[in-house]
Amino acid sequence: MTGSWMMKYLAEFLGTAIFIVFGNGAVANSFLKNTTANGENGQSNGGWIFIALGFGFGVMIPAMMFGSISGNHLNPAITIAKAAVGAFPWSHVFQYIVAQMFGAILGQLLVVAIYWPYFKETTGNEEKVFACFATGETLNNKLNGFISEFIGTAILVLTATGMYNGMFFKKSIDIANLGVGFVIMALVIADGGPTGPALNPARDLGPRIVHAILPIPNKGSSNWDYSWIPIIAPILGALFGIIVYQYSFSLL
């Protein structure tokens, strides 16, 4: 990584904001009534692959922009996991997480600004409005939500660490960045059935705060009873994934 630490914090802030705009913007376009990807009949023409592309490119593009500056964590779970194995200084973990959280809040505010009239249009469907902000388990099963978020984040960190340290990708970081974007797309498709998924505490908590504070039309509950799961499970999953890689391959 290059540049000052303030530059790194700014990269994490802007990168996370872009990630949320692309990801939750795709959700809003797919779920909200009368958008170009939804239409008057309420049937989404976007679908889950459409959303997966949004989140995948939301990681991929900031990675190509800021990867050489900040490492493109965009995720408190990844920052904590890297620090835990000595791949990132603990003295900068808090600052990274603050930058990621405020970036997620800014990104969600931009999504709200873009789609405000469509939140008003989406009457009688508070779940779809909420899905444009944060996650929940579709069957209200907290245990399954925890398991899904833990496994998904463990796979994300294991595969991403492997890509950045693998013999081929290590010589071409830009290709590794592309690969991580595709991993996010695949995880949203494969692991996203129960919860969304979050895989990232900032991606869930920042937009959930925006949902709770702003007078969003047709917003319903912010589901704070569930909010601890997309914080704790991704952190534990990321720790598990990076430790498995470190002790299996010793390439960090």
The proportion of the chain whose per-residue pLDDT surpasses 90, expressed as a percent, equals 73
Report, as an integer, the average pLDDT of 184-201: 93
* Per-residue pLDDT reduced to its tens digit, 16-25: 999 999 999 9
Taking each helix axis from N to C terminus, what angle separates 201-213 and 76-84, rounded to the nearest 10 degrees? 140
Provide the token pair at 104: 């997620």
Cα 229-49-32 angle, rounded to 5 deg: 75
pLDDT score, position 162: 85
d(CA 189, CA 185): 6
Statement: residue 13 has pLDDT above 80: yes
pTM of the predicted model as reported, rounded to 2 decimal places:
0.93
Cα dihedral across residues 112, 177, 9, 202: positive or negative: positive
Report, as an integer, the average pLDDT of 197-206: 97
pLDDT score, position 9: 97
| Lowest pLDDT segment from 57-61, 111-115, 150-154, 192-196 | 192-196
pLDDT score, position 67: 83
List Cα–Cα distances, 241 to 38, 61, 81, in angstroms.
Answer: 37, 23, 9
* Per-residue pLDDT reduced to its tens digit, 64-92: 898 889 888 999 999 999 999 999 999 99
Statement: residue 42 has pLDDT above 70: no
Provide the token pair at 71: 């490492």
Report, as an integer, the average pLDDT of 44-66: 88
> DSSP state, 37?
T
Cα 6-9-13 angle, rounded to 5 deg: 140
pLDDT score, position 248: 84
Statement: residue 251 has pLDDT above 60: no
Is residue 149 a contact partner of residue 237, using CB atoms and an 8 Å limit?
yes
> DSSP state, 90?
G
pLDDT score, position 36: 87
* Per-residue pLDDT reduced to its tens digit, 150-177: 999 999 999 998 887 765 665 666 677 7
> What's the whole-number average pLDDT of the chain?
91
Report, as an integer, the average pLDDT of 210-218: 96
Q: Which of 67, 56, 80, 83 is nearest to 14 (CA)?
A: 67
Hey, what domains does the chain have and what are their CATH numbers? 5-249 (1.20.1080.10)
Statement: residue 184 has pLDDT above 50: yes
Statement: residue 43 has pLDDT above 50: yes
pLDDT score, position 252: 47
pLDDT score, position 249: 81
Q: E strands, the chain, where?
A: none
Cα 16-60-164 angle, rounded to 5 deg: 105
